[in-house]
Structures are given as structure tokens and as C-alpha cells.
Structure 1
């Protein structure tokens, strides 16, 4: 059923081995390099040209064609503008989740299947699906389920938690069946030493190696305000704009021996509430509230008011057992069995049931953050 496959080639080892595995299986493979950010606007600080050169090297070695597609405009409109708007409103976004939903598994998916008329796409993500790594279990009228990768440390289902069922149904994840070490070994064995030894990219592409505060100043006007001790109500320092800070982040206030950490951001007063010490109770909560959820397959709350599952809002952190309830406004209330530190508005709470990623919902606030604001408000009276 699926013969012609388009692979997203990034210039890294994972997408390289993904393409190799597909060709070894006998698929007709075309590599596509996505240009999502115009590095010329950033004085060459992004690695787009080097990645494209590596993508060409990979495809030449494997023996497949490579074409380039430009999604700079789509990335700006769907990812970057939302990123800036969130920071301006005091939220902390996750551009990787937005990029997967809007660019890789929407614009790229449609480009591959509708414009180029290929059968499916394949990506070098560490993930698996119920349809199998090569869609061998594909059923036209059956939902596909997103499953964690064999390599639990490298698993990327967290970043795929907001993609649509339609795209997931015709996506292959061949490397989800391997560990990172195994993928690097395969790359070396087939002569792809250049990408096997390549340093893994981290962080956000449009920021590159720059300091985040310096980067964000280029786009958002700074509005100075105060750091306020949440216990005493006293001003303990000053900031240049709360869009430069996120919940849980350390504030280096040199007049104090013990470090302060961001507990909440008050948009009305432009104040950042800070807690003294990394384990301060104001930084922890076991009750979180979200916007409307995005479920990958069926809605687990369709025929019931609540259910048990696991939660995380940072992809490297352990899963925490929880109870999820649907609120009247369509959002979720997530009651955690164990309190978590720095539950951050704007980030995504991702829900799992065993090895299956059910979907995600954007965090709006936590019970402790509500209490922090109440405590701050009482100090202003």
C-alpha cells in the first residue's frame, strides 16, 4: 500500500538512518530538507546552510535524491509570532510542540502527500505508533495510537503530543525501534561518520547560540518592574521585563546569600513574585488547570467525568500519576499524586497511559500560583 515515502532530512544522524532503513526495506525514498527559519535575518547565527550541506552529504551517501522546501513564512506565522505573543503576555511557550503541529505534521505532510503525491512521510523522531514503524499494521478506518520509543531517554512523544490524527496515520517512525547508541552504530557501519559524530543540536533554532535575554530584547519592548519577596512583600530587586523570566528560574540578586526563584508573574503590576530558596512551597503544586485538551485518538473523557493516567510537562522528567477531570469551560483539572516544581503557564501538560501518549493540554495556572497571587494581593491592602 505504501511505496513512495518522503523523509524529512535535517542533516542529523537520526533522519539519516531513518532514510537508510527505509531504502533497505525497499521503499522508494525522497529526502526533503525543510527551511523553517531565514538565517540571513540573523546574521548567519543559525546553522541552516551547514545542515543543508550535511543533508546533501547524507542523501549522496545513501543514494537518494534531496529537494528543499521553504516554510519560512509558515513558521513565522504559525510558530514565531505565537512565541512572541506568549512571552509578551507573561507565558512561556514551547515552539518545538508548535513546530511539529503546524509545520512538520501539517504543511510538510500536505506538501508530501498532496503536492508531491507520495504515499506517506517518515521522520527521524524517537517514537512509535500502533501501525508499526513502516505502517505495516495500517487500517484505513482505525485510529492510530502514539507510543513511546524503545529508548525511553530519547523518547520524543512529548513533542509530538499535539499533532493531528490525520497526519500521524500516514507517518513512519523507523528509528523508534532503536536506541540512540544503535542508531549511531548503524550510521558508522554504513559510512555516515560525518553525521554520526556530529554534535547534537539543542535549544531553539532561531535563537542559536545567543543569550535568550539578548535575543528577546530584539522583538519585545522591555518594561521594567520589581522583584517582590512573596513572604514579606518587600522589593528585593528590579527586572527589565517579565518576558525575560519564567517560573522556577533563578534570579541572581547579589545582595542575598540564598538564591531567589520566580514563583509567579503579575501582569497587572508588572511585578515578579520570587521565593527564597529552591525548595520554597510557593514553587510547588499538585493541582494544575489547562486549556482545552488535544487528544491524539479518542477522547478518554467522552463517557466519564475523570480518569487516571500519568502527567509530565518537561520531557526529561519522570511521569507522575494523576487524576484528570474535565471542567465546564472545556479545560482540564489535573490532580497530581506528587507535587511538581515550577508548573509553568504556557507550557504543555502531556498525558500518558502506560506507553501510550494520549495528547496534551496547555497549562494556564496551578493551585499554588493562585494562592501566590492571593497572598500578594493581601499584602497590597
Structure 2
């Protein structure tokens, strides 16, 4: 049993390091906890061991105890199996959203409670506020680093037991504090991409779980341009990896993925990053999650993001009474809205909640839906 009242999730990065420092200096009895979420697959690409060493060094520098928990089995069943299934279905999942809901704010929170702590803390750039007895999740003050998008599946219980020490801070200030305090992670690069893939090639990694299945690359009107290794290796709006080059009879403009016909294993491409085939004004979602426990109304206007760091866009939201799914209509066309990703809703700085995108009215998607009906 720990005597710490706050357990900080120390990841071996600068953000969680400074979060722990700030809480310690504020007088909180704290301890760190390092989570192993991915079992080493022998490729040597995973940074988990380096991150573990850095987490230990940070806690040593701060003079706080550190605990260790292996959540790799929970991560596999709660996050990774869903990740692979979504790609197999031709969708593009967001594992960070699931990791927060299933691992960091479920199993980590449970572990902290078992250690006797009342709160957990992380290095996320987000803020909390309480209004009329309800917790609200707010955007981080540094809009360029705001991570509320990834936290939209949290609820009242999780937020009541969570601290976000970096919520009011800009990232350069976090780096400055780390350097001045001599934290060993002060100049460590931020991790990017998906944690279990690391620096290795995404397609090679996914091929271990979804074997290559070659098919045709076609234009929207059915002209064959080349071959692809598998439609699930690509996502809407993607330009890289098509290996089309110059195509006789077409301009030299780059090609972009504008549709995926999974049933016929066809990848559809068009020229121009603003191709009309990439545009949609309406989406339908899976059942939504509401941070407050309920939506603000059955029909309302707000702002929405369909990707992380995308500028927020005005929209109108309608909720299906029976399923809880959303219909979101945007004031202007949106580019590459992708099934499997999340639509996250905001009222000013307040994150209302969100849902997984199920379908859109993009031209090719609509055509495939009508053909299958």
C-alpha cells in the first residue's frame, strides 16, 4: 500500500515528468507508476525499455517512489484486437482514444486505488472544471497541444479522480521547467504515431496481422491505374505509398486515396488534395458518449473535430433516440472524414463528448452504400 494520495502516470516523456514535478512541488504526496502496455515482439523497435529507464530516472531525480504495472494483456484485448478488426473492415481506427478509455483511465485508475491513492495524474494537455456538481473536460490552454480530442470518452467518475497539471501551460514552458530542474527527459523527443508501432514502417507492421491481398487501383470512373497491396493499408486522403508516378493521359498532379471498396478489394484514387470525392457535409456515427452523462439536447449546434489538430468546424447535431447515434451536418464541406475515426463535439472550450464515425455522404461512399442496398 502506497502513502501517496496521487499516482502520476510516468511514461518516460517530458510531459509526465513535469506533471510529477509540479504536483510534488505543490505539496502533494505522490508516487509514479509506469505502465507497460505492449509486450516486446522481438523487433527491437519498441521504446518501452528506454521509456522505463527514463521514468525510473525521473522519479529518482524527484525523490518519489515508482510502481510498475503490466497492462499488455489488457491492451491487446481492449485496444489492439479492435485496431486490427477495424483495419480489416476498411476503416481507420484511433487507438489513442481507446487506450485512454480502457487502459489509462480504467486499469491505471484501478491500480492507483489499490495503492491507496485518491487521484491519478497524467501529462495530458487538458483542463478540468466543476460546475453545479458536474465535471467538465476543457481544452488545454495551449491549443496547439490540446489533447481533449483523445479524452472525449471519459466520464464523471474518471474525471473526478484525475488531475491534469499541464492543462494551463504552453509546451515551451514545460520544456523550460524540465531543463531548469535538470530532469533527464528535458530534451527527449515527443513520441509520435501509434505506441506499439514505434519507428518501424506501418505497412510492414500491419502486414503481420493482415496479410497482403493485392487488388486494383482505379479512378472514380473505373479506369485501372495500377495495383495495391491491400486496401486496409490505406486511409482516405492519403498520398504516400501509392507508387503511381506519372500516369499516361493524366496531369502530373499527385494522386490521393478517395475511396475503398473493401468487398471488391479496389482502392479508388483521384488527383488533387481537394478532390470533390474527398468532400462530405454529413456524417453518421456509432452511439455517442457524453462526458456529462447525457447530451445537451436532442438537436443542437456546436463545433466539431473529425481529426486531431483539425480546426474545429460549426455543425448541427441530431441524436437518434433509440440508438444514441449521431447525425452531424457541417456548415461547409469537410475533407477526408474517415469512418473509424472520432467526431468530437465542443461548446467553446468545453468538450461535450463524441462518437466513432460510421459513415459519411462522400460521393464514393454513398455510391457503394447504395449499390449494397
Name the TM-score class by shorter chain: over 0.9
Write the distance in 2 (CA, Å) between the matches of 1:239 and 1:42.
Answer: 28
Q: Is the 2:283–2:357 contact (alpha carbons within 8 Å) kept by the matching residues of 1?
A: yes
Write the distance in 2 (CA, Å) between the matches of 1:276 and 1:203.
Answer: 26
Q: CA deviation at 1:83?
A: 0.5
Q: Which of 232, 235, 244 lines up with 2:233 in the alignment?
A: 244
Q: Is the 1:105–1:164 contact (alpha carbons within 8 Å) kept by the matching residues of 2?
A: no
Report matched runs for 1:151-162 at 5 Å.
Answer: 151-162=142-153
Q: CA deviation at 1:375?
A: 9.9
Q: CA deviation at 1:329?
A: 3.9
Write the distance in 2 (CA, Å) between the matches of 1:276 and 1:197.
Answer: 40
Write the distance in 1 (CA, Å) between the matches of 2:319 and 2:24.
Answer: 45
Q: Which of 211, 218, 226 lines up with 1:228 in the alignment?
A: 218
Q: Which residue of 2 aligns with 1:127?
A: 126
Q: Which residue of 2 aligns with 1:277?
A: 272
Report matched runs for 1:336-355 at 5 Å.
Answer: 336-355=330-349
Q: Which residue of 1 aligns with 2:289?
A: 294
1:283-322: per-residue Cα shift (whole Å, max 9, x none)?
A: 0111111111011114225xx4310110112111110011
Q: Which of 195, 204, 214 lines up with 2:204 in the alignment?
A: 214
Write the distance in 2 (CA, Å) between the matches of 1:318 and 1:65.
Answer: 40
Write the distance in 2 (CA, Å) between the matches of 1:127 and 1:354.
Answer: 14
Q: Which residue of 1 aligns with 2:38?
A: 37
Q: Which residue of 2 aligns with 1:163?
A: 154
Q: Is the 2:4–2:116 contact (alpha carbons within 8 Å) kept by the matching residues of 1?
A: no
1:40-81: per-residue Cα shift (whole Å, max 9, x none)?
A: x14221111111111111111111011111001001111111
Q: Which residue of 2 aligns with 1:116?
A: 115
Structure 1 window deviating more from structure 2 (282-291 vs 270-279): it is 270-279
What SS is found at the alignment partner of 2:237? coil
Report matched runs for 1:365-380 at 5 Å.
Answer: 365-369=359-363, 372-373=366-367, 377=371
Q: CA deviation at 1:210?
A: 1.1
Write the distance in 2 (CA, Å) between the matches of 1:370 and 1:281.
Answer: 10
Write the distance in 2 (CA, Å) between the matches of 1:375 and 1:90.
Answer: 14
Q: Is the 2:217–2:225 contact (alpha carbons within 8 Å) kept by the matching residues of 1?
A: yes
Q: Which residue of 2 aligns with 1:179?
A: 170
Q: Which residue of 1 aligns with 2:314?
A: 321
Q: Is the 1:252–1:260 contact (alpha carbons within 8 Å) kept by the matching residues of 2?
A: no
Q: Which residue of 2 aligns with 1:134?
A: none
Q: 1:319 to 1:27 in 2, by over 3 A?
A: same
Q: 1:273 to 1:377 in 2, by over 3 A?
A: farther
Write the distance in 1 (CA, Å) between the matches of 2:323 and 2:216.
Answer: 33
Q: CA deviation at 1:346?
A: 0.3
Q: Which residue of 2 aligns with 1:191?
A: 182
Report matched runs for 1:78-117 at 5 Å.
Answer: 78-113=78-113, 115-117=114-116
Write the distance in 1 (CA, Å) between the matches of 2:86 and 2:274.
Answer: 27
Write the distance in 2 (CA, Å) between the matches of 1:48 and 1:103.
Answer: 16
* 5+ residue gaps, structure 1: 132-136
Q: CA RMSD in A?
A: 1.9
Q: Is the 1:300–1:307 contact (alpha carbons within 8 Å) kept by the matching residues of 2?
A: no
1:12-53: per-residue Cα shift (whole Å, max 9, x none)?
A: 1111111111111111101000000112x1422111111111
Runs of 4+ displaced beyond 3 Å: 369-372, 374-378
Q: 1:371 to 1:344 in 2, by over 3 A?
A: closer
Q: CA deviation at 1:258?
A: 2.4
What SS is found at the alignment partner of 2:329? strand
* 5+ residue gaps, structure 2: none
Structure 1 window deviating more from structure 2 (145-154 vs 324-333): it is 324-333
Q: CA deviation at 1:376?
A: 9.5
Q: Is the 2:87–2:232 contact (alpha carbons within 8 Å) kept by the matching residues of 1?
A: yes
